[in-house]
């Protein structure tokens, strides 16, 4: 009985992963556009709960681009994916990267100062 109670207590904590988090990001300008390399950490558990994308936004909330993630990364954590061709207005010195997962939605903002 004690084992059953212990297992029932642990199941919710095993089944629920935290929201996706950006752990690192870099930006490179090439001509008139930018390429972003973003590292995401998330406790992907499978097709029902995984980090499914990240977006790049101006401080006023305008979306500049979105990188969809088409599958779970259960055994690859953290993982890095890139997005190219992002146009950024001259004078903009910071952007916001927002990670997203299927269960929690949009995670905590990551502020990146452009080089």
Fold of domain 18-113: Immunoglobulin-like (2.60.40)
- At residue 14, the pLDDT reads 40
SS (H, E, C) 57-113: ECCCCCEEEEEECCCCCCCCCCEEEEEEEECCCCCCCEEEEEEEECCCEECCCEEEE
User: To which H or E segment does residue 17 belong?
Assistant: none
Return per-residue pLDDT of the chain as tens, 115 residues: 554 434 334 444 344 458 999 999 999 999 999 999 999 999 888 999 999 999 999 999 999 999 999 999 888 899 999 999 999 998 999 999 999 999 999 999 999 999 9
- At residue 3, the pLDDT reads 41
User: To which H or E segment does residue 23 belong?
Assistant: strand 21-30
What pTM value is reported for the model? 0.82
- At residue 44, the pLDDT reads 85
SS (H, E, C) 32-59: CEEEEEEEEECCCCECCECEEEEEEECC
Query: How far, in Å, CA of 94 to CA of 87, rounded?
Result: 13
Q: Are the C-beta atoms of residues 36 and 82 closer than 8 Å to each other?
A: yes
Query: How far, in Å, CA of 37 to CA of 18, rounded?
Result: 22
- At residue 61, the pLDDT reads 96
- At residue 11, the pLDDT reads 42
- At residue 17, the pLDDT reads 56
């Amino acid at each position: 009985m004690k084992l059953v109670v212990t297992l029932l207590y642990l199941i919710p904590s095993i089944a629920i992963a935290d929201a996706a988090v950006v752990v690192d990001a870099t930006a490179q300008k090439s001509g008139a556009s930018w390429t972003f390399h973003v590292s995401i950490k998330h406790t992907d558990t499978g097709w029902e709960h995984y980090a499914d994308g990240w977006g790049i936004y101006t401080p006023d909330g305008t979306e500049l681009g979105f990188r969809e993630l088409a599958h779970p990364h259960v055994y690859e954590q953290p993982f890095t994916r890139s997005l190219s061709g992002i146009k950024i207005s001259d004078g903009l010195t910071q952007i916001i990267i927002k990670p997203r997962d299927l269960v929690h939605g949009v995670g905590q903002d990551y502020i990146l100062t452009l080089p």
